Amino acid sequence: MMGNKEMKNDRMITAVRMRMCFIFMLLSIICLSTGCQGLLTTVIILVRGTDVKPKYKFFKGQKVAVVCLAESMTDPRYDEVPRDLAKNVGLHLSNNVRKIEMISNSDVNKWLDRHDNKLEDFQQFGKDLKADMVMVIYLDSFETSSSNSPGSYQGRSSVSFTVYEVSNNKVLASESLSELVYPPNGRQMATDVKESDFRRKYVNQLGRITSRFFYSYDPKQDMAMDAHAELGM
């Protein structure tokens, strides 16, 4: 049985919610009748929030292995980028998707080492690692040097991914991302930042954008990207 105090609290919460709904409806009617669309938009943002909702929600409560393949990349400077990107995507998923269980990056890398860094059977890969789902990232291109401005950095990459359900080898999602250029409207001078630091931050940004198909995110995180180059956000 619910106590008097709990019943009182429930009644208060219900009353507050009803008043909020009434205020929202009243403001909406006023705005629509007077044409103040800006105020209505502000009210909606305050009520609903500004986060972009995830496109896919099937990772919750699942054991997920992330692996990155870069078969077309030949520049030895970027040999570690595929594994760094897979690790970064896994960290973003672990920090933002509720109840997800990530297969450790070290276990994924050990599997790759045993198989000469080749992955052809994604279902068997998932079974070997006891994963429910496998996220395969394809890194078709990756570059940090600016071809138009020697002595400066501007990241460019081409990324896509596919998610497989291990039990039946079913494709759950497949996306090709637009070319990610960082900074989008400028460059960072080599005199201001080491290439390794720039690459690390760029990989983090790439991992964040790749992973956020699976969780809500604030689009304002991208607004200052060009001005400050703060990719570790």
Looking at the structure of the chain, the number of domains it has is: 2
44 assigned to some structural domain: yes
- Predicted local distance difference test score (pLDDT) of residue 85: 98
Alpha helices in the chain (DSSP H): 4-34, 37-48, 81-96, 105-114, 122-128, 195-211, 225-228
What spatial distance separates the first Cα and last Cα of the chain, rounded to whole Å? 47
What predicted TM-score, i.e. pTM, was given to this entire model?
0.74
**Domain span including residue 217:** 63-228
Q: Are residues 103 and 171 in the same domain?
A: yes
72 and 152 assigned to the same domain: yes
Q: What is the DSSP string of 15-31?
A: HHHHHHHHHHHHHHHHH
Do 32 and 113 lie in a common domain?
no
Q: State the CATH number of the domain containing residue 81.
A: 3.40.50.10610
Quick check: is 55 in a domain? no
Q: What is the pLDDT along the chain (233 residues), one digit of tens a residue?
A: 445 444 444 455 455 455 555 555 555 554 455 455 444 444 444 444 568 899 999 999 999 999 999 988 889 999 999 999 999 999 999 999 999 999 999 999 999 999 999 999 999 999 999 999 999 999 999 999 877 777 899 999 999 999 999 999 999 999 999 888 888 888 889 999 999 999 999 999 999 999 999 999 888 765 545 444 444 33
Same domain for 193 and 124: yes
78 and 30 both lie in a single domain:
no
**Cα–Cα distance for residue pair 142/157, rounded to 1 Å:** 4
